Each structure stands twice: as structure tokens, then as C-alpha cells.
Amino acid sequence: MFTLNNGLKMPSLGLGVLFAKNNGEVENAVVSALNNGYRKIDTASGYGNEEGVGKGILESGIDRSDIFLATKVWNTEQGYDKTLKSFDESLKRLQTEYVDLYLVHWPVKRKYKDTYKALERLYTDGKTKTIGVCNFSIPQLEDLMEHSNVMPAINQVEMHPHLSQNELLEFSKSHNIQLEAWRPIMMGEVLKIPELVDIGKSHSKSAVQITLRWLVQRGVAAIPKSVNPKRIAENYNIYDFELSPEQMQIIESLNQNRRLGEDLSHIE
């Protein structure tokens, strides 16, 4: 668990569901994750699968109050009034009365500050337990903090062994903003990185498990995506070992500042 800047506790590992489809696939993934100990599910309006996530949570039989549920406002829904409307539609699809975390999905130019003001309203009204952003650079965070009343609790960004984001991590820790990694296992690419494979052998773990453990040990939450029950279970099995300082340093040395997704750090 990580404690956010408003005191709310959030699981260090969650299930990501990007590209998982309604009508069975995402529902089964959510049920599988919750049955294997996960208590955080991360979705988004832009994923088009909030309805399936909501069904999966209900099908799991796990009490809603025991689940940390996160969703995001999509780019075309940003702006103050549109964000409030989008949030209500997300709640209906998820079949819930609240979410635990609501995020600005991307920093849309000339809109993200108004969008965040809507998030502040939702937070004040108790419709979301905490709020945050995704894919914000340090200048964008500084700009947002200057024009907002509630410090973002989360910044969800691309982070993995080839993109360690050290400067952003240091900044975030100094301002008590929790970083969370999307695409943490590089869509499976980490399985082909020899250093991670070798470290994994010393712990009888996979390169994927080593990567997720590295993130958690450096104080970063992660939301690996999978719809495969075996991999979902394996991804969560990272709490029975610890990486040595030397192993952590080896993984740090893999950084290439290489992105697999978009970089919108220039948006104002």
C-alpha cells in the first residue's frame, strides 16, 4: 500500500485494462485479478470498457468498499462542464456511486486546468475520494499547482526499465505526488532484457516480476495490463522477495529515455 497526500491508502499494484474488450474479456480479467488478491482496477472513459469493468466487479463478489477503482476523463471530454458530464456517465457505466481516483488522462492544451477544476469540484462533493493526472511533465505540474487548490495525489506516467523518469520521480517525491507506471512491463519486452532475466533467476522470478518489484521498491505504483489469468496471478506475486541495492542499480542502468507511447510534455 502507498499512502496518498490526502491520507487515502492505495494498493501498490493494480490491474490495467487498456484494449480489454467488453462482453467477456475485461469482465473475466477483473474477476481473475480480484480473485488473485488485486484490490485496484484502473480503467478510463477512453478505453471503452468501463461497463465491463463494472460488471466484473459485481461478478467478483468482492465488496465495492474493498476495491480501489480508478477511471479517467478522455481528451474529447475535457473542459469544466464536459468533464462533470463525462464523470456522471462513467459512474453509470461502472455501476457505482463513486470512484476512488479520478484522473485527467492527458494534458489537453488550454483545457487541462479547467478540467482539473472540475475534478476539484467532484472531490469536494465526495464523488471521488482523490484526484490526479496522467502524463504530466514537471512544467505542466508546476503550472497546474499554481492554478489549483487541491494538490494532485497521482501522476500516472509511462515508466519502465528503458524510461526510468528519475527527474520526475524526484520532483514528485518532493511534492508528495505519487507516481504510477503505465506500460510498466513494456508490453512484454522486459522478458527479452538479459539483465532482468538474470536477476530473475536469482530469485526464481520472471523478468516481469523483477520489473514490477523494482518499481514498487522505488516507491512507484504500477498497473500492468493482462487478460490472461495465469499472467494476472504471476504479476501480483512480487511481495515475497526483495531486490538488493546492487540489483536495483543494474535495473536503473538500463534507462534509455525511450518511450513506447506519446510524449506531450510540450503542451501548455
Grid cell at residue 65: 468498499
In angstroms, the CA 142 to CA 145 distance is: 5
Tell whether the model's pLDDT for residue 268 goes beyond 70: no
User: Which of 28, 6, 9 lies closest to 17 in space, CA to CA?
Assistant: 28
Residue 103 amino acid letter: L
CATH 1.10.10.60, applies to 10-252: no
> Could you confirm whether 47 is annotated as catalytic?
yes
Residue 263: pLDDT band with limits 50, 70, 90: low
pTM, full prediction: 0.92
Distance CA 25, CA 68 (A): 20
Would the pLDDT of 265 be above 60? Answer: no
Q: Output the pLDDT for position 258.
A: 86
- How much is the pLDDT for 53? 96
User: Residue 131: pLDDT above 80?
Assistant: yes
User: Where is average pLDDT lowest: 20-29, 46-55, 214-223?
Assistant: 20-29
Catalytic residue among 47, 102, 116, 236: 47
Residue 103 has a pLDDT of: 98
Q: Does the structure show a pLDDT above 90 at 19?
A: no
Confidence band, pLDDT 50/70/90 cuts, at residue 22: confident
Q: Is the pLDDT of residue 113 over 70?
A: yes
Torsion on CA atoms 201, 204, 210, 212, rounded to nearest 10? 160
pLDDT at 20: 82
Instruction: Using the predicted structure, report yes or no on whether residue 267 has a pLDDT greater than 90.
Output: no
Averaged over 119-133, what is the pLDDT? 97
Cα R_g (the chain), whole angstroms: 18
* Distance in angstroms (rounded) separating the CA atoms of residues 130 and 5: 9
Model confidence at 66: pLDDT above 60 = yes
What gap in Å lies between CA 167 and CA 158, rounded to an integer?
14
Domain range list for the chain: 10-252
